[in-house]
Structure 1
C-alpha cells in the first residue's frame, strides 16, 4: 500500500511539474503553431526546453517551427537533440532526413531515414523520403521499392506516387510514370510539380497535346516553377513552334541564368535554325 502511495505521489508531482513547467510553455507553443504563428511558437517551445533541457517534444516542435521560417541549420540541430532524448522518436529522424535532402546532403539523409525505419519499418514518410534519396543517387530500382512500400502502408499518400513516378521516369518507363503521376494528382490536385512531371512523361511519349495541357496547368498553379517553362519550351520545340519554344526557354533562364546549354538552344531557335 505504501509503495502505491509513493508511486501516486511521484506521478502527481511529475504531472504538476509538466503542467506548470515545460508543459505550460509547450501548450502555448502548440496554440501559436496551429495558428500559423511560427515565430511566437518558436519562443514558447524554446522556453519549454529552458524549463526542461531534456524535453524531447519541445526540441522536435521547435525544429518544426524553425524549418517553417527557414532556420534550417537550427532545425537540424534541434531534431538531433529531440532524438538524443527520445531514442524512439522516428518522426524527428524522418523530418531530419527531409531537411538533409533539401540541403543536398544525401549521405546524412539516407542515414537519418534508415535509422527512422529501423525504429518504425512502416513509416510511410520515411520510406518516401528515402525513395527520394535513392532517386537523387539514380538508384531507381531501390527508390521504387521504398515508394511501393510507402504506398502499401498508406494508399493515398500522394508524395510516394509522385516520387515513384520520378523513379520510373529515370528508368524511361514513361507509361508507369504517367500512371503514378495520375495517382499523385488524384490525391493532391494542387501539386503543380506533379503536373509538370506528368507533362515531361507525356513529352517523352510524344503525346504533346497532353504534355502541353499539363505544363499549362502547372504554370497556372505556380508561376515560379522553372521546370515547367523548360518542359513547355521542349514541347513547343517538338511541335515546331520555335518562337514559342524560345520564349519559354527565356522564362526558364530567368530562374537559371547559368544554364548555358538552354541559352544556346534559345538563340538557335530565335535564329530559326
Structure 2
C-alpha cells in the first residue's frame, strides 16, 4: 500500500478486507492490514480497534504493536506508545524499528541521552536503517555533540544520497560544527530534493557566509 493511493482505491481495499474480516473474524493479518488502511484513510478509531483485535488474537503480532504504537504516538499518548514498543521488544529484542520508536519517544520527552542509546542500539542491529541515523543526528545536535552529529548525518547520506531529510540534517550539523560552505551545499541539495528548509536556518547560514 502506498501513500499515493487515491481515496477510491482505499475504499475498494477497505471493502475487500472488511469482507474477509466478517467472514473470518480470527484472521489476524486481515485485521492488521485493515487497521493500516483505516489509518491511511484517516479512520483512526477504527484503525485502533482492528490493530488491538489483531494483538488480542495473536499476542506475538509485533507489527501490529509497532503500528498501533505509532498511532498512539501521533495522538500524544507516549505512555501507550512506549508500552506497545516495549511489548514488541520483549518478543524480539533485536527489532531495530522498535528501538528507534522508543528513542523517538524518549527524545520527545526530553530524555535525549536515553534516545541516543536507543538509536545507537538500532544501528548496531541494522547499520543500514536510515531512520536511526537521521534521528541519531538530531539527538546529537540537541546534545551539542557536533562531531558525532556530522558523522551520523554522513552515514545517513551515504545510505540514501537522495534523502532530503538526511541532507538537511547534515546541513544543520555542519552549520553547528562551523563548516558553513559545506552546510550550504547540503542545504541547497535538500531544497533541490524537495525539503522545506526552515527560513531561519537559511538566513542564519547566509549571515555566516556573508
TM-score, normalised on structure 1?
A: 0.69
Equivalent pairs, count: 206
Matched, 1:51 2:23: yes
Q: How far apart are residue 105 of structure 1 and its match?
A: 2.7
Question: Does structure 1 residue 117 correspond to structure 2 residue 89?
Answer: yes
Partner of 1:22: none
Are 2:194 and 1:198 aligned?
A: no
Q: Secondary structure at the match of 2:26?
A: coil
Q: Would you say the 8 A contact 1:60–1:82 is kept in 2?
A: yes
Q: Could you list the runs of 5+ residues in structure 2 that have no partner in the other structure?
A: none
Structure 1 vs Structure 2 CA RMSD: 2.0
2 CA distance for matches of 1:175 and 1:123?
A: 28
Match of 1:122, SS state, is coil
Contact 1:59 1:81 in 2 (8 A): yes
Q: In the TM superposition, what whole-angstrom CA distance separates every residue of 1:161-200 from its partner, at most 9, and x where no partner exists?
A: 1111111111111111111111112222332112111111
Q: 1:158 to 1:75 in 2, by over 3 A?
A: same
Cα separation, partners in 2 of 1:72 and 1:153, compared to 1, 3 Å? same
Bigger shift: 101-110 or 125-134? Answer: 101-110
- Matches of 1:80 and 1:230 in 2, distance apart? 42
Which whole-Å CA distance do the structure 2 matches of 1:63 and 1:138 have between them? 30
- TM-score with structure 2 setting the length: 0.88
For residue 74 of structure 1, the aligned residue among 46, 57, 65 is 46
Question: Compared with structure 1, are the counterparts of its residues 65 and 228 closer, same or farther at alpha carbon in structure 2 (3 Å cutoff)?
Answer: same
Give per-residue Cα distances to partners, 1:4-23, cap 9 Å, x unaligned: xxxxxxxxxxxxxxxxxxxx
Match of 1:172 among 129, 141, 144: 144
Residue 251 of structure 1 corresponds to none
Whole-Å separation in 1 of the counterparts to 2:190 and 2:124:
28
Whether the 8 Å contact between 1:199 and 1:231 is mirrored in structure 2 is no
- CA 1:38/1:122 → structure 2, altered by over 3 Å: closer, same or farther? farther
Return the structure number with greater relative CO, CA threshold 8 A, min gap 6. 2
Equivalent residue number for residue 217 of structure 1: 189
Unaligned runs of 5+ in 1: 1-32, 241-273
CA distance in 2, matches of 1:230, 1:219: 14
Change (3 A) 1:72 1:207: farther
Is the counterpart of residue 92 in structure 1 residue 64 in structure 2? yes
Give distance in 2, aligned partners of 1:112 and 1:105. 11
Bigger radius of gyration among the two: 1
CA distance in 2, matches of 1:210, 1:77: 48
State the Cα distance separating 1:112 from its structure 2 match.
Answer: 1.4
- Pairwise CA distance, 1:38: 3.5
What is the aligned partner in structure 2 of residue 134 from structure 1? Answer: 106
Query: Contact between 1:59 and 1:79, CA under 8 Å: does it hold in 2?
Result: yes
Check 1:170–1:120 CA distance in 2 against 1; reply closer, same or farther (3 A cut): same
1:163 aligns with 2:135: yes
Segment of structure 1 superposing worse, 36-45 or 54-63: 36-45
Contact kept, 8 Å, 2:164 with 2:191, in 1: the verdict is yes
